């Protein structure tokens, strides 16, 4: 399948640089797959377009302040992006800038705060780094003190940009579990929820189930091959608690609503693994733990997602592949339809990407 099918042009003005003033004030495009009807509303009204007993499955991973800075012994500046732990709690896979020069020198840090050894280069331009915090603290605690939010490159910020204080709050869902600071990108579909909106939905009969997927930097990697089947899909660790997984396996009482593509990846990977090789993912307690390596694209059918909340994604991304498959399960017609929906969103001045508006597909 040609990756060019998932390409489109987005005016720069439509890339959101800041979130909506209030989370649920974001705009919402509602798409009915059966009638092909499109409704333009706000996220605060999402309950009007779902049954009262809808079951929401959301990713509660917290975004790590993964971008930290240091200096080489010569005084040269180093920018380090934490990706994921390696073999122990103080050794991490990281992206470094500059990478080769820092590897050659072998160390960087901040006097009085931490030192770091660059152990070796890995694949895809990453490096294995061992940290030595001066204080008695973990690497995640160190990053929480010294780091900044790892905003995607299309959100433009200077180091001292005053908007960074707002980013610390708004590039994080209101239900993020800070004991699970592991994501280097936000599960952005969940950014639109407020505590009040969640309470109102629950009062109507909705249920919310948490799962955790370690959103990695691979979520931003575009498809750079001509045939999407040749794309090397990224892997991400996830966990689905037993109660959530039990609910996922039931088709009633209400529709299963995935909050974002990260939730879809977790759900679909878990459902397929549990059916084909349960020993690879099911724990004795009934929860699911595994590393998602699933690539969803047309004409796939999803096993356990009845409705999807998602933001508007980058051209030629695996996320576009997933959403187009959900739009028209079992065939490839969702590709053209998705591009038509995106064209309408652009015409109606929707904002795109992480801080942008949302789409509900039912």
pLDDT digits (tens, 9 = 90+) for 3-17: 999 999 999 999 999
Quote the CATH superfamily of domain 3-63+173-361.
QueA-like (3.40.1780.10)
HSE-up (13 A, CA, CB side) for residue 56 = 26
Quickly state the pLDDT bin for 184 (edges 50, 70, 90): very high
Q: Distance between terminal CA atoms of the chain?
A: 26
The predicted structure's pLDDT at residue 126: 93
For residues 111-132, average pLDDT: 95
Of 194, 197, 193, nearest in space to 260 by CA: 193
The predicted structure's pLDDT at residue 162: 94
* Whole-angstrom distance, CA of residue 362 vs CA of residue 60: 22
* Whole-angstrom distance, CA of residue 99 vs CA of residue 83: 14
Q: What percent of the chain has pLDDT over 90?
A: 91
The predicted structure's pLDDT at residue 123: 81
Q: What percent of the chain has pLDDT over 70?
A: 100
If you write DSSP's letter for every residue of 152-199 in order, what string do you get? Answer: -TTS---TT-TTHHHHHHHTS-TT-EEEEEEESS--GGGGG--HHHHH
The residue to which tokens 């047309």 are assigned: 298
The predicted structure's pLDDT at residue 160: 87
The answer, yes or no, to whether residue 218 has pLDDT greater than 90, is: no
Q: Which CATH architecture has domain 67-147?
A: Beta Barrel (2.40)
The predicted structure's pLDDT at residue 103: 97
The predicted structure's pLDDT at residue 217: 76
Indicate the average pLDDT of the chain. Answer: 95
The answer, yes or no, to whether residue 344 has pLDDT greater than 80, is: yes
The predicted structure's pLDDT at residue 124: 80
**Hey, where are the domains in the chain?**
3-63+173-361, 67-147
For residues 287-301, average pLDDT: 95
């Amino acid at each position: 399948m040609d990756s060019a099918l998932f390409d489109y042009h987005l005016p720069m003005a439509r890339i959101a640089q800041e979130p909506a003033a209030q989370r649920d004030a974001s705009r919402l495009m509602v798409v009915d797959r059966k009638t092909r009807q499109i409704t333009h509303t706000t996220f605060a009204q999402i309950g009007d377009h779902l049954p009262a007993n809808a079951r929401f499955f959301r990713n509660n991973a917290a975004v790590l302040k993964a971008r930290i800075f240091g200096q080489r012994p010569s005084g040269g500046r180093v920018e380090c992006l934490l990706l994921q732990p390696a073999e122990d709690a103080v050794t991490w896979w990281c992206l470094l800038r500059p990478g080769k020069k820092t590897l050659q020198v072998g160390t960087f840090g901040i006097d009085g705060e931490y030192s770091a050894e660059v152990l070796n280069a890995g694949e895809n331009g990453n490096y294995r780094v061992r940290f030595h915090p001066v204080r008695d603290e973990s690497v995640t605690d160190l990053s929480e003190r010294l780091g900044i939010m790892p905003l995607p490159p299309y959100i433009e910020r200077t180091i001292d940009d005053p908007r960074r204080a707002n980013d610390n709050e708004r590039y994080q869902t209101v239900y993020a579990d800070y004991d699970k600071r592991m994501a280097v990108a936000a599960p952005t579909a969940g950014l639109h929820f407020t505590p009040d909106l969640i309470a109102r939905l629950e009062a109507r009969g909705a249920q919310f189930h948490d799962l955790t997927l370690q959103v990695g930097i691979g979520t931003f990697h575009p498809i750079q091959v001509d045939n999407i089947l040749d794309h090397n899909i990224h892997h991400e660790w996830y966990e689905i608690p037993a109660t959530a997984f039990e609910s996922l396996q039931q088709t009633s009482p209400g529709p299963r609503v995935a909050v974002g593509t990260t939730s879809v990846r977790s759900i679909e990977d878990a459902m397929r693994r549990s059916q084909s090789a349960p020993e690879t993912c099911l724990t004795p307690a009934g929860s699911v733990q595994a590393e998602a390596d699933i690539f969803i694209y047309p004409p796939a059918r999803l096993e356990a997602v009845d409705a999807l909340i998602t933001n508007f994604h980058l051209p030629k991304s695996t996320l576009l592949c997933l959403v187009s498959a959900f739009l028209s399960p079992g065939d490839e017609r969702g590709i053209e339809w998705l591009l038509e929906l995106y064209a309408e969103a652009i015409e109606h001045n929707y904002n795109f990407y992480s801080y942008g508006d949302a789409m509900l597909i039912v």
